[in-house]
Structure 1
Amino acid sequence: MASKANKELESWIKHLSGEDMPVFSGTVADVTESVNSEDSSASEVAQTILRDASLTSRLLKVANSFNYNPGGKKISTVSRAVMVLGFEQVGALTLTLALVDSLSEGVQRHKLTEEMAQSFHAAIQAQQLAKKMGCKSPEDIFVATLLSRLGNMAFWAFSGQKGTEVLNLIQSENLTEQEAELQVLGFRLRDLTVGLSKSWSLGELLDDFLSDHHGNDERHNIISIGQELAEAAKNGWDSEQVAIIFEQAAKKLGLSVDEVEELAHQNAKHAKEITRIYGVTDASKRIPQPNIDMGLIEEDVDEAKSDSTDEPRLTITEDTSTAVTSKYPEPDSNVQLTIMQEITSAIEEKPSINIILEMVLEGLHRGVGMDRALFAILSPDRRTLTCKYAIGEDNERLCKELRINLSNTNNIFHQVIDSKKAMHVPSDPKKLTGTLSRDTLTLLGPPAYLVMPVIVRSKVIGIFMADRNASGRDIEEKDFIAFQQFCQQANMGLTFLAM
């Protein structure tokens, strides 16, 4: 029996990984690796986000909300978001948005909305408690708490007939959810969460918490309190269950009951707003608020149930003014302007040179609408260009493999460096003014390219290059002009930073 249950569980994990939530599982792996790597840069975190234009626009929208950017200074690039908010916060935002996207097609609308509301509520409660207690990484606690019921959310999003069977057992035979899950599936949805966490490498904190071997880890206590508050609050903030949890939490955290109650009420309001900002409006409405008649909440539930057959999808709201449907970004003069202004502001703060390079590449990709953009650094002996940063199509391969030999003076990249001038390398071979090596053509594909030297204190230190090879779109003169403007701004900024 246990063997059959294990096979069923493995089947669910495999199906969710390969068919239902492959983008989320891949995003988790990429973001976790980038955020946890000691050698990681803003561009590496940005790479994961920039692969999805819709995710990029939504991340920037959330990053510019008052809750994350109370100063109101506009954030227009992912690189800038990492610089201002930090790796951990941007990582948490990205994973949350990816989760919301992955669950947006959920068919059991009412149960999925309920699970997402509870998960977001618990995550915000835990995160804010972590900040109150001075925990080192409240963002990690937010993510671990949010994903601690991932199995429940994933099941109700993609359960099909099995979900209906579980609901029928709960309603007709008066079984608990766990009893109904075991009878229909052969395993609990908590077991599915454990399996997904291990399979998708959701993090050591979540794995340890789910193992039930909490020990004296304060973070585990905080996650538990967040979960318990979110669960109990569904019965009303004035319920006896909530009062008991307030007392238990006060003892565990070394706070007064009044302090815990006040903080929990504030967190509930904050959770409602944050969930709305993430675009999950249905779930936002389901987060219980203090001093609100629970009868009104129950009325909403009945309404959701009655609507479930007519409108089975979870409502995800998105800012249509920033939504992008094309795989490759289109030129956008407004985006160009805002990113150039942001680069100017960043230069005044004297960040690392790498940050400016990364912001310029993002401007070329998202603003000028290039399929990819890269910065290659010139070797000390000035004989080789090596790709250091790349954004867009095939970026990882370029960073690993692109090496351009400059020993041939007829080489086009040698000509750009020698002349210290930008070049629009034409697609027509008859119009080429120089040569390109076979290795370079293999990696980059045939022209057209835009190339411009990076000059600091009158000395060339590398080149910017961009193209539209992947999409096959033409590069117009206005694109070349915009490309040069970004590169020139980089040159001025880097010279200023080198002073």
Structure 2
Amino acid sequence: MGGPQKAPETLEDWTELLRAQEMPIFSNTAHNIYAALDDRKKGAMELATVILQDPNLTAKVLKVGSSPYYNPSKQKMSTVSRAIVVLGAEIIRELTLACSFFEAILSSNDKNRANREIAKALHAAVQAKNIALTVGDVSPEEVFVAALLHNLGHVAFWCSADPHSKKAHAAIEKSGLDSAEAEKKILGFSLRDLGKKLSKSWSLGGLIEEAIAKPDSADKRVQLVKLGHDICQALQAGPDSALMTACLAKFNELSKLPLPEIRARIEKNTEEAALIARQFGADDASRFIKKDAVGGDVPADEPFDKKQLQFQILQDISSHISSQINLNQLFEMVLEGIHRGVEMDRTLFMLLSPDKQALNEKFSLGWRKPVPEQKLRILNSENSANLFFNALRQTEGVWQFPEQHPALYTPQIVQQIGRHECFIFPIRAENKVVGLIYCDHSIHGLPLTRDDFIAANHFAKQAHIGLTLYCMKSH
């Protein structure tokens, strides 16, 4: 045990090394996002839950999603659930995959080569998406993601910090051969073949897999992906190169736009790509996209301010309940406000069953369940009141401590929830209890504070107000 790992020799060995060891976060995120969007029974909250499991990813999605490129109308978005409503699930899929992709590869040791690969991927994606929008493609976001991941083998290989990868990097760099020849000689396969294998192992499917497997396909959407990459190569070759002439002709054939306008679009896309790279945190890649660094247009990250975030989310909730109220969206925003704004580890909204004998999970954030789809259910079946049904009898929210109220932590509660200090807020509509909100610091073990209780209680009251207004409008 613990001996040195055997050097990868075959395409399968390298695929397993890069898939399992180097980018597991991207692998899981990609799979979960696709699953949440492809299952028609699942809604925005399932997608939001996948994103909210990763605080860094959440912050990045909201930051980049608020940029003019994604949100030209500059609508305010403080919550992921609000971002999904404003931008749409397809844009969020594009954004989240791009963010998780960058998150997984920005830690590379060989910064120079890795940043070149990242720059190429993002630049090609922006160019391809613009062409897709121009020609009225059914899903420009899908074209963006397919172009971003088109050179997946190259990106995964050159961004790998594994010792075996570093050794192979050095051998390729020193070989003096052209890239494709060096790959074949040193590795025994091409990085394009590696990309095909990784795409299959990650079950990315659709246009992504199609464009990687058959880049010269006559399929119009595959051609959009390829043209995005060809334009990037052509820009390196020069504005009057044969490659650029071919790209302009292809763009013209697809769009029927005049050549001067096509050149102007390509230039604008380059600027956009450089700005987006900066917002993803890839400053060096941004400089590769546009040799002279883009200055002044991208605001620096503001330090995290918990109270400011609470205020922004409360504003979003107030805005929502002052118009047409969607109860699912209201509770998603309230739960996200408590989870992110008050920095709770686990947050849960449960509804009381019509016979008042069970509480059933409606939404949850931060729970590490063995089976993610499994829903929590607490029964009112014990001899004395348990933690949750006791809270339903209270007129206000409660702050509970296991050592002060051990009897409330019944076997059912301990098995499903654990024995943790927590806040519980009963939720009422027209003086009838309809459910509760539960939250705790059970993962990181930090003590709860009075400020936390006041802030969480404020969000719970917004849920009550929204529910009351909804009932009044329904009569």
Q: TM-score, with normalisation over the residues of structure 1?
A: 0.85
Aligned to 1:190: 192
Most deviating of 279-288 and 135-144: 279-288
Aligned to 1:327: none
8 Å CA contact retained: 1:279, 1:318: no
Q: 1:30-56, CA deviations, whole angstroms, 9 ceiling, x for partnerless residues?
A: 111112221223322222222222222
CA distance, structure 2, for counterparts of residue 137 and residue 333 of structure 1: 38
Gaps of 5+ in 2: 1-7, 294-298
2:459 is equivalent to residue 486 of structure 1:
yes
1:193-342 to 2 correspondences below 5 Å: 193-212=195-214, 217-288=219-290, 319=301, 321-322=303-304, 332-342=306-316
Aligned to 2:18: 16
Match of 2:401 among 408, 421, 426: 426
Aligned to 1:376: 350
2:350 match: secondary structure: strand
Q: In structure 2, do the counterparts of structure 1 residues 133 and 371 end up closer, same or farther at CA, with 3 Å as the change threshold?
A: same
Q: In structure 2, do the counterparts of structure 1 residues 320 and 23 end up closer, same or farther at CA, with 3 Å as the change threshold?
A: farther
Most deviating of 388-397 and 184-193: 388-397
Match of 2:360 among 363, 370, 386: 386
Aligned to 1:35: 37
Aligned to 1:78: 80
Q: In structure 2, do the counterparts of structure 1 residues 444 and 284 end up closer, same or farther at CA, with 3 Å as the change threshold?
A: same
Residue 320 (structure 1) shift: 6.4
Aligned to 1:160: 166
CA distance, structure 2, for counterparts of residue 216 and residue 241 of structure 1: 19
8 Å CA contact retained: 1:370, 1:466: yes
Q: In structure 2, do the counterparts of structure 1 residues 164 and 219 end up closer, same or farther at CA, with 3 Å as the change threshold?
A: same
CA distance, structure 1, for counterparts of residue 373 and residue 188 of structure 2: 47
Aligned to 1:358: 332
CA distance, structure 1, for counterparts of residue 97 and residue 372 of structure 2: 26
Aligned to 2:5: none
2:274 maps to amino acid: K
1:439 maps to amino acid: Q
1:99 maps to amino acid: F
Greater relative contact order (CA < 8 Å, ≥ 6 in sequence): 1
2:441 is equivalent to residue 468 of structure 1:
yes
Residue 241 (structure 1) shift: 1.8
Residue 68 (structure 1) shift: 2.1
2:414 is equivalent to residue 444 of structure 1:
no
1:111 match: secondary structure: helix
Aligned to 1:456: 429
2:149 match: secondary structure: helix
CA distance, structure 2, for counterparts of residue 256 and residue 318 of structure 1: 38
2:171 maps to amino acid: E
Q: 1:452-474, CA deviations, whole angstroms, 9 ceiling, x for partnerless residues?
A: 12222333221111112222222
Aligned to 2:3: none
CA distance, structure 1, for counterparts of residue 420 and residue 254 of structure 2: 64
Q: 1:346-369, CA deviations, whole angstroms, 9 ceiling, x for partnerless residues?
A: 333435211111111111111122
CA distance, structure 2, for counterparts of residue 215 and residue 456 of structure 1: 58
8 Å CA contact retained: 1:387, 1:398: no
8 Å CA contact retained: 2:215, 2:226: no
Match of 2:389 among 389, 402, 414: 414
CA distance, structure 2, for counterparts of residue 237 and residue 269 of structure 1: 16
Q: In structure 2, do the counterparts of structure 1 residues 344 and 278 end up closer, same or farther at CA, with 3 Å as the change threshold?
A: same
8 Å CA contact retained: 1:402, 1:440: no
1:492 maps to amino acid: I
2:447 is equivalent to residue 435 of structure 1:
no
2:78 maps to amino acid: S
2:101 maps to amino acid: L
1:119-198 to 2 correspondences below 5 Å: 119-158=121-160, 159-169=165-175, 171=176, 175-198=177-200
Aligned to 2:99: 97
8 Å CA contact retained: 1:416, 1:453: yes
Residue 7 (structure 1) shift: 5.7
Aligned to 1:44: 46
CA distance, structure 1, for counterparts of residue 65 and residue 393 of structure 2: 42
8 Å CA contact retained: 1:372, 1:392: yes
Give aligned-pair identity as a percent: 33
Match of 2:68 among 66, 69, 83: 66
Q: 1:300-342, CA deviations, whole angstroms, 9 ceiling, x for partnerless residues?
A: 9xxxxxxxxxxxxxxxx983624xxxxxxxx922222221112
Residue 238 (structure 1) shift: 3.0
Most deviating of 12-21 and 405-414: 405-414
1:374 match: secondary structure: strand
**Residues matched between the structures, number:** 456
Residue 129 (structure 1) shift: 1.1
- The two structures, once aligned, show a CA RMSD in angstroms of 2.5
Q: In structure 2, do the counterparts of structure 1 residues 54 and 176 end up closer, same or farther at CA, with 3 Å as the change threshold?
A: same
1:470 match: secondary structure: coil
8 Å CA contact retained: 1:103, 1:157: yes
Q: In structure 2, do the counterparts of structure 1 residues 485 and 227 end up closer, same or farther at CA, with 3 Å as the change threshold?
A: same
Residue 187 (structure 1) shift: 0.5
8 Å CA contact retained: 2:351, 2:361: yes
Residue 192 (structure 1) shift: 0.8
1:372 maps to amino acid: R
1:491 match: secondary structure: helix
8 Å CA contact retained: 2:274, 2:286: yes
Q: In structure 2, do the counterparts of structure 1 residues 133 and 458 end up closer, same or farther at CA, with 3 Å as the change threshold?
A: farther
1:107 match: secondary structure: coil
CA distance, structure 2, for counterparts of residue 98 and residue 8 of structure 1: 27
Q: In structure 2, do the counterparts of structure 1 residues 418 and 103 end up closer, same or farther at CA, with 3 Å as the change threshold?
A: same
Match of 1:25 among 27, 36, 40: 27
CA distance, structure 2, for counterparts of residue 13 and residue 266 of structure 1: 36
Residue 391 (structure 1) shift: 0.4
8 Å CA contact retained: 1:388, 1:399: no
Residue 216 (structure 1) shift: 5.3
8 Å CA contact retained: 1:145, 1:223: yes
1:400 match: secondary structure: coil
Q: 1:224-275, CA deviations, whole angstroms, 9 ceiling, x for partnerless residues?
A: 1111111111112232320121112322344443443332222222222222
CA distance, structure 1, for counterparts of residue 436 and residue 138 of structure 2: 40
Q: TM-score, with normalisation over the residues of structure 2?
A: 0.89
